[in-house]
Homo-oligomer: A and B are copies of this chain.
Amino acid sequence: MIKPDWIALDWGTTNLRAFAMTKEGRVVARASSDAGMGSLAPDGFEGALLDLIADWLDDRRMPILAAGMVGARQGWVEASYLSAPTPPLATASLATPSTADARLDVHIIPGVSQARPADVMRGEETQIAGYLRHDPDFDGVLCLPGTHSKWARISAGEIVGFRTFMTGEMFTALSQYTILRHGLGTGWDDEAFITAVQDGLSHPEMIGARLFAIRAEGLLDGLLPDMAHARLSGLLIGVELAASRTWWLGQNVALIGAEPLSLHYQKALHQQGVIAPVASAEDMSLSGLTAAHAQMKGTS
């Protein structure tokens, strides 16, 4: 293969995704592994990276830009947070782990923190930068659904403020490690989802009772597993929308996420009268890493 000009890494808690990039910002190869930050000790990162990208290297020193939890305190090397309000990227603040292999020239993008209310992001700032690369004048709210969904106010190219909701991780923990696991399918039911979004939005305090009702209706009324699955998802998203109302009501909202979750949020928002376009999280990550690479080279 053509050796890349530089390498982009989306290095999260559970996965490592690598992109071999040309000077022009084209992807010539992709690779991924489950060597996420969560499964690595500090001295394991270099080996995990080489395992994935060794074929892309020659004798030259290779510029590598990484975003995500790789820069956390438990990661390879800590990349200090930028403090909101802030532009999403500041390549002057990149963290640089030392490597045994001299060909690796690794730089990690800092996350963003907020003092009050206390909040942090790592990786999403790069997706936001990617979104702003395509729409530099965006003024509104970006919602990034996921394990920890983020709502970020964007104005004048800056992250003005943001708030994280543990919705995705609550879904996983509740569906896998509670009694609900006995009655959840992997299929979907749009009507059950939308009804549950409305339930969550209108009575968020009922979450604990509504969760148990999924189980009770399974036992007493034969609630179908796919409906139970859609209802759990809708209930949690509805509660998030109840809390984030001021972030979307009458606002210019766009979503950045992976399907199908981002489409569920889109549907839930649409039902509240909010038309939110969806951008792919992977595309926005790559676009943000490309923006960071250009900024680092001073060509931005």
Contacts and interface: CB of A to CB of B under 8 A. Distances in A.
Nearest to A174: B173
Contacts of A211: 166, 170
Interface string A215-255: 01101110000000000000010011011000000000000
Contacts of A236: 208
A118 interface: yes
Nearest to A204: B205
A296 interface: no
Given A208-B165, A216-B164, A221 B170 contact: no
Nearest to A217: B118
A119 B212 contact: yes
Contacts of A149: 208
Contacts of A243: 203, 205-209
Contact of A205 (B119, B213, B221, B242): B242
A148 interface: yes
Give the number of copies in the complex.
2
Given A169-B179, A204-B205, A207-B207, A213 B117 contact: yes
A299 interface: no
Contacts of A208: 149, 165-167, 170, 236, 239-240, 243
A95 interface: no
A153 B273 CA distance: 40
A177 B179 contact: no
The CB with the most chain B CB atoms within 10 A, among A118, A174, A176, is that of: A118
Contacts of A176: 177
A41 interface: no
A163 interface: yes
A290 to B, nearest CB: 28
A211 B179 CA distance: 21
B173 A178 contact: yes
Interface string A147-160: 01100000000000
B216 A118 contact: yes
30 contacts: A118-B216, A120-B220, A148-B179, A149-B208, A164-B209, A165-B208, A165-B209, A165-B212, A166-B178, A166-B209, A169-B179, A170-B178, A170-B208, A172-B177, A172-B178, A173-B174, A173-B178, A176-B177, A177-B177, A204-B204, A204-B205, A204-B207, A205-B205, A205-B242, A206-B243, A207-B239, A207-B243, A208-B239, A208-B243, A209-B243
